[in-house]
Amino acid sequence: MIIPCIDLMGGKVVQLVQGREKALEGGTPLDMLDRFAAFPQIQVIDLDAAMGQGSNDDLVALVATRAIARVGGGVRSAERARGLIEQGAFRVIVGTAAFDKPLLNEIAGAVGPERLMIALDSKGGKVVVKGWQEATEFTAEEMIPHLEPYCSGFLCTYVDKEGMLQGTDLDWFRRLRAVTKHELTAAGGITTIDEICELQSLGIHAAVGMAIYTGRLNLAELAKITTPPCQ
């Protein structure tokens, strides 16, 4: 499955390079939903909430009521996770909260593991948290087996290539696939249809942002390979 991304910052749809530098702005969330109408799911990340710099709650709720959306960014309480589900989110994505076991247990209990995804984003080989601003001492491969009971899938971003249109690290995703049977979604630097097809052959979904917004990947072509998978 190919999952287009809507990242929100300051009330606008944006794309960042490695989670820091804003590279471009897209249309309004409703504009992007129209463009992404052919895809079965949308990924929505509130970057302001992830970085602890405010929120875009109204826009998140707007998207969640109009599309099958997996929503993340600053989900650090059971109340927020439950609130996103009540607003219409199909699944909730947690990142930083996954490293606080009591809190993760509380969030999983509030929404159910089947509605919860855990984000394991890697930079320099280690998982990064708090909007990719702090590094942990763990690798994603190490963490996945410990986190499986709490969720139904993992969103794994290769931050080193995020937004750079230089391709992603398929070997990293192969290693992740080898340690779990849970659903995996790849993100970070995915630039070509060949990469998407390779991920699909591994049974890994592709969350795509910058390559769509810059036109490197054609939405009509992507829609054709979403279902059935690449031939």
Active site members: 7, 121
How far from 187 is each of 30, 90, 96, 105, 165, CA to CA, in Å?
23, 19, 17, 25, 12
**Per-residue pLDDT tens for 85-140?**
999 999 999 999 999 999 999 999 999 999 999 999 999 999 998 877 788 899 99
Whole-prediction pTM: 0.93
Is it the case that residue 229 has pLDDT exceeding 70? no
Mean pLDDT, rounded, for 184-201: 96
Which residue carries 């989900």 as its tokens?
75
Closest CA to 184 of 162, 204, 202, 207: 204
Give the span between the Cα atoms of 210 and 91, in whole angstroms: 22
Runs of H (alpha helix) within 119-169: 140-147
Q: Which band of pLDDT confidence, cut at 50, 70 and 90, is reported for residue 27? A: confident
SS3 assignment, position 50 = helix
**Per-residue pLDDT tens for 129-171?**
887 778 889 999 999 999 999 999 999 999 987 777 789 999 9
Could you give the domains of the chain? 2-226 (3.20.20.70)
**Per-residue pLDDT tens for 36-65?**
999 999 999 999 998 888 999 999 999 999
